[in-house]
Structures are given as C-alpha cells and as structure tokens.
Structure 1
Amino acid sequence: MLISPAYAQAAGGGGGGGIEAFLPLILIFVIFYFLLIRPQQKKMKEHKLMLEAVRRGDKVVTGGGIMGTVTKVNEGDEVIVEIAEGIKVKVRKSTLASVESKSEPQADSGKTADKGDAANDEGAAKKKPGGLRGLLGGGKKDG
C-alpha cells in the first residue's frame, strides 16, 4: 500500500499538543477570577463586616428598599428597625442592603452636639435669603 507523503506528514504533527491546548482555557479562567470572582468576594466580605458593625441608632435600608432606624440588635441574626413613628419591624441582618448613616457613640453625643450647634449658628449667619431675592442676588440691596 502506498501512502501519499502529504497525508503521512499531516498525521505526524497532531500528537504533540498536550498542555498547549488547555492554555487558552486556563488563561480565560484566570481573567475571570481577577475580573469577576475576586471583586465579588471582596464585596461580600465588606458587606459582612458592615452587618457585624450595625448598632442601635444606625439608619439602614433593607433589601426591599425599606428605610428605617435600628432600635435594637437582638442576639443572633435579628435587628429591630423603626420605619415610622411607633412602627417597628423585626428583620434579619442579612436583609440589610446598606447602612446610610452611622450613629455616634452615646458617650460622645454631648460633645458632638455642642460642635454641631456652633456649626449651625455659623451656617445660619452665612445663609442666603430664600425666595426670588435669594435666587437673583443673594439678598444684596442696592443703595
């Protein structure tokens, strides 16, 4: 039997590509790891730390979009959130989407209130008048 030289050469070249065939697949997996998996793990870790740091007085938003103030942190995974005056809801910490503002520790609240009042007094002195006069010229009168 006679075999043509071109057919014999083509058959010999196909047996040498073991790891080279998997190299593009490995490269794609590495790219996916650094672009998708690793940032998601970092985000989950930050969210877990945020949930562990939730305390009384924090303004929170649940996964359903309900906004409220934490009134009590129960043992385990439960938090009581006041969503309106006198309306309290018990939710799981895992349903909290974000903490909008952190409350100040009770010991420091007196000191920060004094600073806040001074800042409000200065802000009131610099405040422009409202209405049309405030929009047009900041309340300056000619004359």
Structure 2
Amino acid sequence: MIDWVISMAPPSPDGGQSQGPGMFLSFIVPMIFVGLIFYFVLIKPQKKQHQEVQKMRDNLEEGANIITTGGIHGTVKKVKDDIVTLQIADNVRIKINRASIGTVKN
C-alpha cells in the first residue's frame, strides 16, 4: 500500500537531490510567522490576565467580598501574608490561601 502511494508521487525536478538553502527558508519563514501569531493570540493576553489577577490579589483589603476558586462566597476579615481569613456565615470563619481567591465582588 505504501509503495503504491510513493510510486504515485511526482518525481523531484532535480532527480532527488536536496533543494539547498532555499528549501530551508521556505520552511522557517512560515514557522516564524506561526510563532508570532501564537505569541500575540495566546501568550500575551494570558500574561496580561495573570498580571491583573495578581494585582487584584495583592490589593486585597479587609471588608472585601470575594469568591474563591472553589466557589465559596465570603467577606475578608483579616489578611496576613498569604493567608486570608474569610467570614462565610455568622460566626463561621475559614482561612484560605491568597492564591485561591478567584474574584473580588464590588
């Protein structure tokens, strides 16, 4: 089956010799173009979003209403280093890691 596919391929114009540096450039230029598209469409927006989330977590203050990444709603009662104390109900407080804060509600 594979022999049949290979036999159907057109012969190379120079009898099977390598194409030289022109072949390399015709491959590398589109790859660079795809890399640039990948950077501007995926990497740069993700980096910007990560910086905004980090800024939001760094500027966290007592009294802020937040939602954790696990979906728990609560009010910040105390912030100490990377530990945040949340009040999620009357007389119910939990300690969470600052990195688990998903959003701050206004």
Q: Name the TM-score, length of structure 1 as normaliser.
A: 0.61
Identity %: 33
Alpha-carbon distance between aligned partners in 1 of 2:61 and 2:13, rounded to the nearest angstrom: 76
Computed over aligned residues only, the root mean square deviation of the Cα atoms, in angstroms, reads 1.9
Provide, for residues 17-46 of structure 1, a one-character-per-residue CA deviation record: whole Å limited to 9, x for no partner.
222211111111110100010000000000
Deviates more, 1:22-31 or 1:33-42: 22-31
Is 1:14 aligned to 2:19, yes or no?
Answer: yes
Hey, which of these two has a bigger chunk of strand by percent?
2
Structure 1 residues 8 and 56: alpha-carbon distance in aligned structure 2, compared to 1, 3 A threshold: closer
Is 1:63 aligned to 2:69, yes or no?
Answer: yes
Alpha-carbon distance between aligned partners in 2 of 1:14 and 1:63, rounded to the nearest angstrom: 54
Give 1 or 2 for the bigger CA radius of gyration.
Answer: 1
Structure number with the bigger relative contact order (C-alpha 8 A, sep ≥ 6) is 2
**Partner-residue secondary structure (3-state), 1:80:** strand
Alpha-carbon distance between aligned partners in 2 of 1:82 and 1:72, rounded to the nearest angstrom: 9
Give, as a single letter, the amino acid of the residue that structure 2 aligns with 1:20.
S
Q: Name the TM-score, length of structure 2 as normaliser.
A: 0.81
**Partner-residue secondary structure (3-state), 1:56:** coil
Alpha-carbon distance between aligned partners in 2 of 1:12 and 1:44, rounded to the nearest angstrom: 50
Structure 1 residues 82 and 19: alpha-carbon distance in aligned structure 2, compared to 1, 3 A threshold: same
Structure 1 residue 90 displacement after superposition: 0.3
Structure 1 residue 10 displacement after superposition: 4.7
Structure 1: gaps (5+ residues): 1-5, 102-143
Match in the other structure for 1:78: 83
Match of 1:25 among 28, 31, 39: 31
Provide, for residues 34-90 of structure 1, a one-character-per-residue CA deviation record: whole Å limited to 9, x for no partner.
00100000000000000001010000000000000000011x211000000110000
Alpha-carbon distance between aligned partners in 2 of 1:33 and 1:24, rounded to the nearest angstrom: 14
Structure 2: gaps (5+ residues): 1-10
